[in-house]
Structure 1
Amino acid sequence: MTIARRTFLRRAAVVTGTAVAGALPFSQYLASPAYAAQGWIEPKLIRDAARRARARRKAVSTDVPSRNGWEMEKATDQGGSIRTRPVPGTPISGVAVRIGEVETVLVHLIRRFHYEVDSLRKGDVTGWRSPGQVRKGLAEGNQASGTAVQIRPGHYPHGVTGGFFPNQELVIRDILAELDGVVRWGGDDAKADESLFYIDVRPDSRHLTQVAHKLQGWSEKPGKGAGGQIDITSPHRRAAARSRFLQQRTTT
């Protein structure tokens, strides 16, 4: 059977799940005599691998969105979009979140919390939770789509506010402003959960992409990003934090 080059590349992408810079999956086949001809034969190993990848994806898929519009998944680290990711510079060995832009944003938030709000210990952060373990109608349901994390959930009971000192909340407000509205704090919800932070934009958000790119750029510059020298009391940052606070409190 012959297939187009575009079809081959699409199936190869399915097999790998994510692109790897500088390396195309199965690139050795692109240099083969069969590929050079007008028609070429798709290797059986690629067909089989693509079939297995689709089966894994189907096994974790729910086709049901969480409250913020992202699809909930049945498991993590099982071939879906939610995987355990490292949190550099902290004792947190890994947190289960949606890979890609969501991961970039939530990991940045956790790191700043650790550096500036309160030092975290292993086990302090909970990411993905099974759809059967969350109340889907509440913001905590976003954890089932890998788009939310809870930081020390046992310390901040549902419906209770005032769990942070003023200087700690000042940092939280600065983090939310820095993330430009793509993350919401559960402490601002009508049914407060001060341990919860979740993505507050839809899957097709270009704004999320812009914020993630900004954070990725900072990671390549000394003194930028989480752990960098930040004056959260500067008039500019205080004004931005206040503006974001007023905006998010009015959209509960």
Structure 2
Amino acid sequence: MAPVDTSLLSTTIILLVIIIRIFQVYSEITTGVAKRRTNLDDKISDFRMLWEFNRKGTPLCIGECSRDERCASVFYNKMTGHCQGHSITFGDPLAITDSPNYRYYLRPHGENYIGDSCLDSNECVTVNSECRTGICQCIPGYSFSPKTHECKECTNYGNDYWEIMDHYISKKNMETFDGLTLQECFNLCNSRTDYTCVSLEYGRATQVCYLANITVLQYPERWYHDSVQTFVIAYYQRDCE
């Protein structure tokens, strides 16, 4: 019986492992688990970041996102293994930061999802969403729910907010605070215990914070667009948990 060439066998095994690995990556990216957006190569953002890990290999990073119902997309650095999960979609490469070796991948529900680029509201597929300022966003009054992938009226609220510039609900605030940063205003809304704070307005010039337990859905007649920026104010709708 002829002796077995162990070096050839080892090489064959190594090649087989590499082929299997390539197939795993290809299948992860092309069969519905995730889709790469090449226009966001070498880009990254920390907006709406859920978590970050070090994971060696694209499938492992995508797998982390697939196991989190809130996760819509990931940035993955192919050199360092840095994996960053997000609850929204990114579409515009000019709106995020340059960072070499990052690749961006979407889960199936991330297409035309909250945060994605759009030209009109027909492109935004999330329930109760619209195209506003070139981005798919929730219709004012509806909160973004990362868990159920829709815009809706919440029963439980999270700690994040969507901004609607130059809009406000007139004279329906529960509390007013002077001299705060926007983050301090968010923190106050999140920590209210005597009522559920679901929206707020913030004066960017005055640093005045207005907290409310209602949304525009309850008082559409008091919803105003400050088109000439008289008050330099923005409305913030609180996300669902």
- Which has more strand, going by share of residues? 2
Scaled by the length of structure 2, the TM-score of the pair is 0.27
- Which has more helix, going by share of residues? 1
Between structure 1 and structure 2, the one with the greater Rg is 2
Scaled by the length of structure 1, the TM-score of the pair is 0.26
